[in-house]
Amino acid sequence: MTELPGRRLLLVHAHPDDESINNGATMARYAAEGAQVTLVTCTLGERGEVIPPELAHLTGEALGSHRRTELAAAMDALGVHDFRSLGGSGRHQDSGMMGLPDNDDPRCFWQADLDEAAAELVGVIREVRPQVLVTYDPDGGYGHPDHIQAHRVAMRAADLAAEPDFRPDLGTAWTITKIYWNRVPRSVAEEAFARLKDVLDELPFPASAAVDDVPGVVDDTLITTEIDGTAHAAAKAAAMRAHATQIEVVEPWFALSNQLAQPIFLVEYYELVRGERGERGGAASGAPEADLFAGISGTSEVSA
């Protein structure tokens, strides 16, 4: 077996753009530190709206193909070299927003069989052997069917990958040590939107989003981990800009096709939902972790 990098991080997302919005600074930081960063994206975003008028003709599989090129450019900006489509490119299609007839398309991710889709991810988990998995909370951050399904598939695959009797043809069983959900502490979101309010009339966006429009906003007490990606601000902004069909960036703000301004977070927040916290300043400190690999033996940066 070839020598694997000491630290291996797996992220599971629904569409091209989610990874940069939610975890761009984290991905850039760990890639820069020499960790292996693997992204699995579950759809190609074939049902997305398109911002630039000159690209408005792109729909369906043509849009999906274009968004895959946007994803490749975003990964280049973040220094991430391992990025994959769940089950292969185009295997699961974008399901559209919750409640739309699109959700009933048999080709869409929302209609995928959970265990079949999870088995596709088990193969990646047993190959990459990540110590850390990052995905969405059960609501997918904001209730989009592909986000909800990405959560379900990621959590199910983490369980199945650890079972030696499950599909040995997919590789040797592997247990992921720590699992995190993407979160934003409410106090941080409120403070950022207060700053946005002061400058909104200087921005090209007609209105501001609301705090609760931000996926994964929760009470501060649920936050276990803060990853400071301030040093990677330019990389995150470049990655978000690469998703030009979906995102407009006017640093340190951005807007999706709904034209509602929202903040770019350079400290990215997480809730540890499986595994033990590695405490910064010792167990008594109660301070949030500052490293997703904290407390995992053999993964300190020095040993990477």
Residues of the shown chain interacting with ligand LKMZNTP5 in the complex, contacts defined by CB under 6 A: 15, 17-18, 45, 47-49, 94, 96-97, 144, 246, 256-258
Per-residue x/- mask for Zn ion, residues 33 to 72, rule CB under 5 A?
----------------------------------------
Query: Smallest Cα–Cα separation from 92: which of 11, 22, 146?
Result: 146
Cα 289 to the center of its chain, rounded Å: 19
Least Å distance, CB 14 to ligand LKMZNTP5, is 6
Give the count of beta carbons closer than 10 Å to the beta carbon of residue 59: 12
Q: How far is the CB of 301 from ligand LKMZNTP5 (least distance, A)?
A: 31
Question: Residue 15 annotated as binding?
Answer: yes
92 interface partner picked from Zn ion, ligand LKMZNTP5, none, CB below 5 to 8 A per type: none
- Token output for 13: 């997302």
How many Å apart are CA 223 and CA 202, to the nearest integer? 32
Binding test (CB under 5 A) with Zn ion, winner from 7, 15, 67, 126: 15
Annotation-wise, does 232 bind a ligand? no
Selection from Zn ion, ligand LKMZNTP5, none that 48 binds (CB < 5 to 8 A by kind) is ligand LKMZNTP5
The CB-of-144 to Zn ion minimum distance in angstroms stands at: 6
Q: Does 148 bind Zn ion (CB under 5 A)?
A: no
13 is in an annotated binding site: no
Round to whole Å and give the CA distance between 130 and 102: 34
275 binds, among Zn ion, ligand LKMZNTP5, none (CB under 5 to 8 A by kind): none
What is the closest distance, in whole angstroms, from the C-beta atom of residue 171 to Zn ion in the complex? 28
Distances (CA, A) of 135 to 58, 148, 167, 171, 284: 28, 10, 23, 22, 28
* Residue 101 burial (C-beta neighbours within 10 Å; 0-12, 13-18, 19+): exposed
Q: Give dist(CA 70, CA 73) in Å, integer.
A: 5
CA distances for 84 relative to 13, 14, 91, 183, angstroms:
10, 12, 11, 23
Binding site for Zn(2+): which residues? Answer: 15, 18, 147
Q: Which residues contribute to the site for Zn ion (CB under 5 A)?
A: 14-15, 18
